[in-house]
């Protein structure tokens, strides 16, 4: 009895012993504080409840012709370059997103978005403890700003006071307080944003479209020096697969094969309403923008927002504005009409009263006669009435590419060249040499007089 009582541990002694065990266990646990190097991360950058090893190694393991050190050196070579709102190159200066875009393209060829908010929508979220060189870091003040992580807690960005400069994520209070996260491009995004991916693409239109990357945007622009979204689509399809589309987005959307979202394929054209609008005169719900689908949820388009032709991710902004999808492959003339191909060369040539040569401009009769002479060696009569009288009459249901269409003008017949798929070329006073649609062009559909073949 006394023996058993002596062996029973006093409750206070039990609690003290238990506490000692806990202390000893904690002493021998490896410390996981923020002042040591975490696996795959940087020292002193802290940890978060959302820490996990990223799936992507980003540009570190990209199959591209550069090294990470070369990438960082490209950024560091710009140190001290001036700040410029909206700037995107060393000559004019940079804002933060323009700096990120420039370094990525210059060092790797990757076409990052122009706007920081669009950059933020890409990539895998990366916690501070897993940051690596080349990751894009983001901050939110009055707007979202971006920068390039260069290692050891440092990053580079463009500031109004210092231009391109190096700062620290923890030690520079403004940036530490406004830090909202970091992103690393995934393997699929790197592939989708790099033009070399499309060099041997199965669809010729996607291949051709890449030749226009970086071309300045201009609303109504109708030359390769600067253009808008509909000219881009029109020119790419003509050059790549011999398809002749209307000049205006709204008219393009009226032709071609309707495609469901489930059947969307590279080379299809995506149309949007009420977005990327140059002026506010457009009607609500009107088709206002178009881009060529490249695959993996990306498109290439002449972007007013980016002010250039760019590869863009189809984010919620675009998906919410999606109006429809068109496939134009079935409209190809397959190079079988030299007359149409020659006519297309002169698109946007200005109208000139009495004009009969591209150097001076065209009127309708001068345009048709020039194209026939150049492509076929055929000298047509000198007046529209004589062309009408001497040609072989063609029923409107039997039209072939290269036939001559006639429309009733105020005083004379107006000749045009049929391009197939109810499209035709005509030299108009308002647009110069342009394309119109037999059914959807209200002015011409009401004035169609007939067709002749030579």
Catalytic positions, written as ranges: 229, 289, 301
Length of the chain, please? 454
Quickly list H helices, 225-286.
229-241, 249-252
Specify the 3-state DSSP secondary structure of 399. coil
Tokens 């035709």 correspond to 424
* Pairwise CA distance, residues 161 & 205, whole Å: 45
Specify the 3-state DSSP secondary structure of 270. strand
Nearest partner of 393 among 454, 328, 351, judged by Cα: 454
Q: Cα 370 from chain centroid?
A: 37
Sign for the CA dihedral angle at 120, 121, 126, 132 comes to negative
* Pairwise CA distance, residues 11 & 146, whole Å: 60
* Pairwise CA distance, residues 37 & 144, whole Å: 29
Sign for the CA dihedral angle at 358, 363, 367, 369 comes to negative
For 24-56, give one letter per residue: b (16+ CB within 10 A) or e.
Answer: eeeeeeeeeeeeeebeebbebbbbeeeeeebeb
Sign for the CA dihedral angle at 36, 41, 45, 48 comes to negative
8 A C-beta contact, residue 155 and residue 148: yes
User: Interior CA angle at 122 toward 103 and 170, to 5°?
Assistant: 70
Tokens of 390: 């001497």
The bridge status of strand 361-362 relative to strand 93-94 is unpaired
Q: What does DSSP assign to residue 262? A: G
Tokens of 243: 């398809």
Cross-strand pairs, 417:
404, 425
């Amino acid at each position: 009895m006394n023996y058993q009582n002596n062996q029973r541990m006093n409750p206070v002694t039990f609690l003290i012993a238990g506490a000692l065990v806990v202390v000893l266990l904690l002493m021998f646990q490896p410390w996981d504080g923020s002042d040591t190097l975490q696996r795959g991360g940087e020292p002193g950058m802290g940890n978060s409840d959302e820490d996990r090893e990223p799936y992507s190694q980003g540009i570190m393991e990209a199959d591209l012709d550069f090294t990470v050190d070369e990438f960082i050196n490209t950024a560091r070579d710009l140190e001290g370059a001036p700040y410029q709102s909206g700037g995107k190159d060393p000559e004019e200066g940079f804002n933060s997103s323009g700096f990120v875009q420039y370094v990525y393209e210059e060092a790797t060829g990757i076409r990052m978005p122009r706007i920081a908010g669009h950059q933020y929508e890409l990539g895998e979220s990366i916690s501070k403890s897993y940051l690596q060189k080349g990751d894009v870091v983001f901050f939110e003040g009055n707007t979202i700003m971006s920068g390039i992580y260069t290692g050891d807690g440092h990053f580079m960005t463009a500031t109004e006071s210092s231009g391109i400069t190096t700062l620290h994520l923890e030690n520079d209070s403004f940036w530490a307080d406004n830090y909202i996260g970091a992103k690393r491009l995934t393997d699929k995004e790197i592939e989708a944003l790099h033009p070399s991916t499309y060099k041997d693409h199965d669809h010729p239109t996607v291949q051709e479209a890449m030749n226009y990357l970086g071309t300045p945007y201009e609303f109504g622009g109708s030359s390769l020096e600067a253009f808008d979204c509909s000219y881009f689509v029109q020119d790419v399809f003509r050059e790549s697969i011999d398809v002749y589309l209307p000049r205006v987005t709204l008219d393009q959307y009226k032709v071609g094969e309707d495609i469901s979202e489930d059947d969307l394929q590279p080379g299809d054209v995506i149309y949007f309403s009420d977005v990327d609008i140059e002026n506010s005169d457009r009607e609500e719900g009107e088709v206002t923008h178009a881009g060529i689908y490249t695959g993996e949820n990306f498109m290439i388009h002449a972007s007013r927002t980016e002010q250039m032709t760019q590869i863009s991710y189809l984010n919620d902004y675009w998906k919410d504005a999606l109006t429809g999808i068109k496939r134009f492959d079935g409209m190809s003339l397959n190079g079988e009409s030299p007359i149409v191909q020659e006519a297309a060369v002169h698109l946007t040539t200005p109208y000139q009263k009495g004009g009969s040569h591209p150097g001076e401009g065209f009127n309708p009769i001068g345009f048709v006669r020039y194209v026939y002479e150049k492509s076929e060696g055929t000298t047509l009569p000198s007046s529209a009435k004589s062309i009408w009288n001497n040609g072989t009459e063609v029923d409107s249901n039997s039209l072939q590419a290269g036939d001559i269409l006639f429309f009733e003008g105020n005083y004379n017949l107006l000749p045009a060249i049929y391009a197939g798929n109810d499209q035709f070329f005509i030299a108009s006073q308002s647009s110069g040499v342009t394309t119109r649609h037999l059914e959807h062009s209200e002015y011409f559909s009401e004035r169609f007089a007939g067709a002749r073949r030579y």
